[in-house]
Each structure stands twice: as structure tokens, then as C-alpha cells.
Amino acid sequence: MSHSPESLPVNDRYRGGRGGTAAQRAALIIHTIADIAAAFLGLWIVLYLLDANQGNVFVQFVKGMADSLAWWARDIFTMNTEGLRVALNYGLPAAVYLLVGHLIAGRVRSL
């Protein structure tokens, strides 16, 4: 059974236009910012655990971004194992940014 495009129902959320409603665009922006923040934090954890060269410009950039994003969670965990300390002190903000960002984006999207 074949349907012509005109006979199919239109769902505004998946329309091939320029991004949907303003609320959907705002939700996408919030969602993306949360993902990018978590990605920088996760990347810093990986670079640290893999003992990346701290003198490298890229590593310094990622560390600077991660420090800026995790300022509020510095030294929440103070264990002796340095790798675990970094993973927890930067992983917690990454999880919070993902959770809060996606929750806010979902609320905005439902408006």
C-alpha cells in the first residue's frame, strides 16, 4: 500500500523545515550546551587518566574548560587515589549538567 506525501499526517516536530517552534529550538540549544559541558569534563577525565602531556596546548585548553565548568565541585571528594579523585570531582559535575540540562530541555520542549 503506497501513500502519497500529501496523505500522510504531518508531525511538526519532525517536519523538514527550519527547526520547529521556538520552544523546540531553545530546548535543543539547552540540550546541546549540557552535552558539550559534559563532554569537556569527560574528556578531561580521560586525558588525566591516560596521563596526557600537561604541557600540550590542547590538553591545557581541555583542562581549563573542565576547571571552569567544575569550579563548584572542586574537592568534594578528597581521597588518596588521584585518578579516582579526578574522576569523581569532574564526573559529578558532568552528570549534574547532563541531568539538569536534559530535564530543563524536556520541560522547555513540552511548552
Per-residue pLDDT reduced to its tens digit, 30-39: 999 999 999 9
pLDDT, residue 44, reads: 97
pLDDT of 13 above 80? no
- In this predicted structure, what is the pLDDT of residue 52? 95
Read off the C-alpha cell for 77: 571528594
Position 16 scores a pLDDT of 45
Q: Is the pTM of this model over 0.85?
A: no
Residue in 87, 78, 80 with CA at minimum distance from that of residue 49: 87
Q: Where are the domains of the chain?
A: 20-109
Integer Cα distance of 110 and 11 in angstroms: 15
pLDDT exceeding 70 applies to what percent of the chain? Answer: 83
Where does residue 62 rank: exposed (0-12), middle (13-18), buried (19+ CB within 10 A)? buried
